[in-house]
Structure 1
Amino acid sequence: MQLETKLIDIMRTNENVMEDLQLVQQLNIPHWWIAAGYVRNYVWDYLHGYEQNTPLNDVDIVYYDPNNISMSLETELEASLLEKKPMYQWSIKNQARMHVKNNVHPFESVEDSMKRWPETATAVGITLSDTNEIRVIAPHGLDDLFNLVVRKSEFFRDEAYYRERVRSKGWSTYWPKLMIT
């Protein structure tokens, strides 16, 4: 719980976080989280002592709704967010649909999906509770994120894809304190 509190405190130092969370909350999608690089990059920037945030490639929103797995809904939601905050490239994915894309068994929840993401430090997300408190999801815990460790998830099987992904991202260029395993 201590690292979760630290993560929430760090995220609150970013003036955009609450605004972004409230913007996504207004979409009224079930079981949603802002995840991946949005959280990871900000923590790594903080731990490296950077005053400027590393630019985001996109803002990943994940949610879980097995009752509506339409890709067109995701596109509509992205367009809605883009209209309100055009400086981001929004990416919204219903994790109840992603098993089809990934050719695996259906996921049971956002957490079930996230634990199968390539890196443990990327499988972290934040959301707002009904009382506007930041909540954290991290199926692999937060140790790797805070220890600056890039490690393949034990649930992600494709070692070659993982290696190429880490290489192509160039993370150690942005964050030289990272330890890539």
Structure 2
Amino acid sequence: MSDLEARLAEIVRADPGLMQVLTTVRGLELNDWRVFSGAVYQSAWNAVTGRPPGYGVRDYDLGYFDPDTSWDAEDAVIQRAAAAFEPPFRDMVEVRNQARVHLWFEGKFGEPYEALTETDEALARFVAPAFAVGVRLDEDDTISIAAPFGLEDVFSLTIRPNPHRPLARGWDRAVVNARSRWPELTIIQPEIA
């Protein structure tokens, strides 16, 4: 584990809301699951900027991987997860089968999306490297971290476009949204060709 991964694991453990979500999700025994994106990098941003745990966190994105891509199978997991949480978490945990994302992504976001083979593969497609981080609480209480671009942008409060994909249509909205809560962020705008 790198120094930044160890630091992130400590931050995650110090965030009571995130730990409650991780502990509850672990009990669901989902295949290849991660809590990723905002709830993770925002927890780090809060620690770096001296804000309290949970500040600015609007939801907890939970991805898992089930080769059964039927809506009924995903809905059953969504319902099971909802039943496992009390409010406010019941309404904040957003569950998505990563094996299904390619079925609806283009219709929702206007971009093609190749089928994934595992949950962690989704991280490399996120809008920005800082957003591409996921965690899991393993059975031995280890915090497992996936961050295909590393954690440097997370801890330096930097948002830059993902270099391995076209600029996301929601780029401007994502930047404005993040900066409204963490004005200390450095934004590296895409180069215009």
TM above 0.5, yes or no, is: yes
Return the alpha-carbon distance in structure 1 between the equivalents of residues 180 and 78 of structure 2.
Answer: 30
* Number of residue pairs aligned between Structure 1 and Structure 2: 178
Separation of aligned partners in 2, 1:51 and 1:26: 27
2:129: which partner in 1? 120
> 2:75 is matched with which residue?
75
* Pair 1:163-2:172 in alignment: yes
- 2:99 is matched with 96
| Correspondences of 1:130-145 after superposition (within 5 Å) | 130-145=139-154
Q: 1:126 to 1:147 in 2, by over 3 A?
A: same
Look up the SS of the partner of 1:108 in the other structure. Answer: coil
Q: Which moved more, 1:4-13 or 1:50-59?
A: 50-59
| Cα distance between partner residues in 2 of 1:91 and 1:17 | 13
- For the residue of structure 2 that corresponds to 1:139, the secondary structure is coil
Distance 2:86 2:115 in 1: 32
Partner of 2:191: none
Q: What amino acid does structure 1 have at the position aligned with 2:102?
A: H
Partner of 2:158: 149
Tell me whether 39-48 or 71-80 shows the greater mean CA deviation.
Answer: 71-80
Give 1:42-61 correspondences, 5 Å limit: 42-51=43-52, 53-61=54-62
Q: Which amino acid aligns with 1:71?
A: W
**Identical residues among aligned pairs (%):** 26
Q: TM-score, normalised by structure 2?
A: 0.84
Read off the aligned partner of 2:78 and give its amino acid letter. Answer: E
Contact 1:78 1:90 in 2 (8 A): no
Distance 2:19 2:174 in 1: 30
The equivalent residue for 1:108 is 117
TM-score normalized by the length of structure 1: 0.89
Report the Cα offset of residue 41 of structure 1: 1.2
Are the counterparts in 1 of residues 35 and 60 from structure 2 also a CA contact under 8 Å?
Answer: yes
Which residue, 159, 167, 176 being the options, matches 2:183?
176
What is the one-letter code of the residue matched to 1:74?
E
- Please state whether the residue corresponding to 2:16 is helix, strand or coil: coil
Superposition CA RMSD, Å? 1.8
- Which stretches in structure 1 are left out of the alignment for 5+ residues? none
**Are 1:121 and 1:144, in contact at CA under 8 Å, matched by a contact in 2?**
yes
Q: Distance in 2 between matches of 1:18 and 1:161?
A: 29
| Alpha carbons of structure 1 residues 52 and 114: separation in structure 2 relative to 1, 3 Å | closer
What displacement does 1:174 show? 1.3
Say if 2:15 and 2:54, in contact at 8 Å, map to a contact too: no
